[in-house]
Amino acid sequence: MKTIISNGTPISYNIYGTGPATLLFLHGSFIDQTYWKQQVSFFKEKYQVVTMDLAGHGESGTNRGEWTLEGMAEDVVTLIKELRLENVILVGHSLGGNLALIAASRHPDPIIGFIGVDNFKNLATPLPAEYESQVEEIIESSKKAYADTNEHYARMVLLTPETPGWITDKIVAAYRNSYEPMGQQTLPQFFEMYRIEQQSMPLLRPRMNLINVNYYPTNVEALKAHAGNGYKLIEIAGTCHYPMLESPKALNEALDEVIDSVLEMKFAD
């Protein structure tokens, strides 16, 4: 495990392999870079692979008074700059996809590809008004019973009764044991994510590539409306939000297909 300092906080990362492109994998909320284990093993023979723990997650530091998604995205930019990464393909799962989008809009030059994993299912689209009261209830409940609220959210939104038990147990534990000050401050920002997407999408240079799990549908009309440089959607079968755990082979095959297309476009220029 290696470390850089970003905004005063230690950020843990790992580098594997070499190759014509760098795959930078960004994990989702309350989990860590070890979730990409199967992807690292698959891709490190062909590419340079970089994984990192977001601030407040995994082995990265928690010494921040203010927790913002913009600050976490800036950590991604700092890592790219400090490691002097080139020909970067960002691979972001869930929250990691949103942070990748912000990072790509702020530091576009080294970014040649963008892949979201089970994210952007309602790209740049606010929640319907009828859900506003539910959002307020979740935020208030989190203040009173953080771990229980996180578990309930994970079970209701990210997992299904068909999800293998070991995955459910792993995710529930991660959500219950996440760093509470970070979780409390970022939770309201999650429900405003569409604003970040609206601001950042016009600045995204590469095509938006999505590999989404079919347990929850993707709003294709939103992609058509907001993905200005086009999009490619690959759907894989699964019962939950975590294809790197449930369907690593299918995810790797889809990633391989998309990465090949990114490199073909890059080196055809």
Quick: pLDDT tens for 72-81: 999 999 999 9
Decide if pLDDT at 268 tops 80: no
Quick: pLDDT tens for 69-116: 999 999 999 999 999 999 999 999 999 999 999 999 999 999 999 999
All residues at 6 or more sequence positions from 138 whose CB lies less than 8 Å from its CB, including other chains: 149, 153, 187
Quick: pLDDT tens for 226-261: 999 999 999 999 999 999 999 999 999 999 999 999
Alpha helices in 145-247 (DSSP H): 146-153, 165-176, 180-190, 193-200, 220-226, 243-246
> What is the structure's pLDDT at 269?
60
Q: Return the bridge partners of 92, or none.
A: 26, 116
**Taking the complete model, does pTM exceed 0.75, yes or no?**
yes
Strands (E), the chain: 2-6, 9-16, 22-26, 48-52, 88-93, 111-117, 208-213, 231-236
Q: Are 226 and 197 within 8 A, CB to CB?
A: yes
- DSSP 8-state secondary structure symbol assigned to residue 92: E
> What is the structure's pLDDT at 191?
94
> What is the structure's pLDDT at 256?
98
Q: What DSSP element (H or E) covers 41?
A: helix 37-43
Domains, the chain, ordered by start: 2-128+192-268 (3.40.50.1820)
How far apart CA 16 and CA 267 sit, in angstroms, is: 23
Q: Return the bridge partners of 14, or none.
A: 51
Decide if pLDDT at 173 tops 80: yes
Residue 266 pLDDT level (bands cut at 50, 70, 90): confident
Quick: pLDDT tens for 54-65: 999 999 999 999
Decide if pLDDT at 1 tops 90: no
Sheet containing strand 231-236, edge to edge, reads 2-6, 9-16, 48-52, 22-26, 88-93, 111-117, 208-213, 231-236
How far apart CA 154 and CA 171 sit, in angstroms, is: 7
> Hey, how many other C-beta atoms are within 10 angstroms of the C-beta on 107?
17
Quick: pLDDT tens for 14-35: 999 999 999 999 999 999 999 9
Helix (H, G, I), strand (E, B) or coil at 266: helix
Query: Shortest CA distance to 210 belongs to which of 125, 128, 268, 123?
Result: 123
How far apart CA 62 and CA 9 sit, in angstroms, is: 7
Using a pLDDT cut of 70, give the percent of the chain over it: 100
> What is the structure's pLDDT at 125?
97
* Average pLDDT, integer, range 148-165: 97
Q: Are 162 and 239 within 8 A, CB to CB?
A: yes
CA 79 to chain centre: 16
Could you tell me the two tokens for 37? 């284990």
* Average pLDDT, integer, range 188-207: 96
Average predicted confidence (pLDDT) for the chain:
97
CA 146 vs CA 122, 130, 154, 227: distances in Å: 26, 24, 12, 35
> What is the structure's pLDDT at 132?
87
Helix (H, G, I), strand (E, B) or coil at 12: strand
* Average pLDDT, integer, range 186-190: 96
